[in-house]
Structure 1
Amino acid sequence: MKPTVGRIVHYVSYGTPGGEYSSQCRAAIVAGVPEGALPAADTEHAQEWESDAIVLDLAVLNPGGMFFNRCPQSEPIHRGGTWHWPEREGI
């Protein structure tokens, strides 16, 4: 699938270090597909992400409000601070 502006994806929250809040999937709307963002160019975390991870600008919907973030894709592991395609259930 190709990400485009307006598509719905899942953002994975980090959770809290003390475990008060766990890492969870949140609904997110693709707000932008940055030019040259394929693959991820985050040198700090480059070895943590898949080499073909797609970076997106997201509007993340949380129960307490919205926030905006640029983050890489992480399909198989769903790490905090990443996005992935929603799982298909019952289709």
Structure 2
Amino acid sequence: MKPTVGRIVHYTSYGTPGGEYPSVCRAAIVTAVDDYQTPAVNDGGQHIGHVSLCVLNPEGMFFNRSVLQSDSDGGHRGGTWHWPEREG
């Protein structure tokens, strides 16, 4: 699936080195898709391009540019975005 402006995705926060704040998923809205960059594809053939996000936190919003899509299904690295998991 290719990201488009206005889509809801998840952003994985970095957390703090001391663990006071863990790395967690936050809701985010895609504000731009970096079409000028060569889109990358992971081993599963999924698009892992860069997007700009408005991340929604309990403490407020922040804006982040050129965020790479997480290529991991098992665990997501801090500072990346991924599609929301489906609840069954």
State TM-score, norm by structure 1: 0.80
% identity of equivalent residues: 69
| Of 3-12 and 68-77, the range deviating more from structure 2 | 68-77
CA RMSD, aligned part only? 1.7
**Which of 50, 53, 60 lines up with 2:48 in the alignment?**
53
Compare the two structures and name the one with the higher strand fraction: 2
Distance 2:15 2:26 in 1: 12
The total of aligned residue pairs comes to 81
The one-letter code sitting in structure 2 at the alignment partner of 1:79 is R
Q: After the TM superposition, which residues 1-91 of structure 1 pair with which residues of structure 2 at under 5 Å, given as runs?
A: 1-39=1-39, 50=42, 53-70=48-65, 71-76=67-72, 77-90=75-88
Give the gaps of 5 or more residues in structure 2: none
Residue 47 of structure 1 corresponds to none
**Aligned partner of residue 64 in structure 2, secondary structure:** strand
8 Å CA contact retained: 2:34, 2:49? no
Give the gaps of 5 or more residues in structure 1: 41-49
State TM-score, norm by structure 2: 0.83
